[in-house]
Amino acid sequence: MLTLYAATSNAGKLAEFRAAARQTRLLVTIEPVPAIPSLPVCVEDGSTFEENARKKAEHYSRLAGGLIFADDSGLEVQALGGAPGIHSARYSGPGANDARNNEKLLAALRDLEPDRRQARFVCVIALAEAGGALAVFRGAAEGVILEAPRGSNGFGYDPLFLFPPLGRTFAELSREEKLQFSHRGRAFRALLSWLKSRL
């Protein structure tokens, strides 16, 4: 059994990574980096998802042993020039949370026609060991931002993100359905495929 350590304490992300791992034939278990809340925090000051993912994975792989992966993900809204982008988790400022971020996004897009509300979820995952990045994987999902939230599953911007091929928001999908189509599911499957080819 191969153990991969996730450089996150986000319960929602951990649950999705674990569910994705269960769907593969690769015998892998996902655990958070040991004692991550007590480790020095990585300052995510990169200008792209890839820079932040690599920096985070390399940072925590210098502090803990094993194969460590980190993701940086967010929402890019076309009408907002790609915002909130790498600032998705902190979009509403100090003390940001999902509810406040969603409120700010809705306010920014108020009165915008449906055909101008296109958005993309992006996830970049970096895998590292002993301070060095081994590989980087990217996944994306195209959608539309609704005028009001729908659904109670997921987290982040999921209730506002309509996935047109299914006609539902990511918050209206089961975890397994979301993993099949989401940016994070696609990036993580690429990581697992890369590992499988080398084991």
Q: Which residues are catalytic?
A: 72
* Position 162, amino acid: L
Distance of CA 44 to the CA centre of its chain: 14
Element (H, E) at 55: helix 49-63
Element (H, E) at 40: none
The answer to whether 121 and 138 have CB atoms below 8 angstroms apart is no
The two three-digit tokens of residue 163, written as one number:
């996935």
**Residues 182, 123: Cα–Cα separation, whole Å:** 9
**Residues 160, 163: Cα–Cα separation, whole Å:** 10
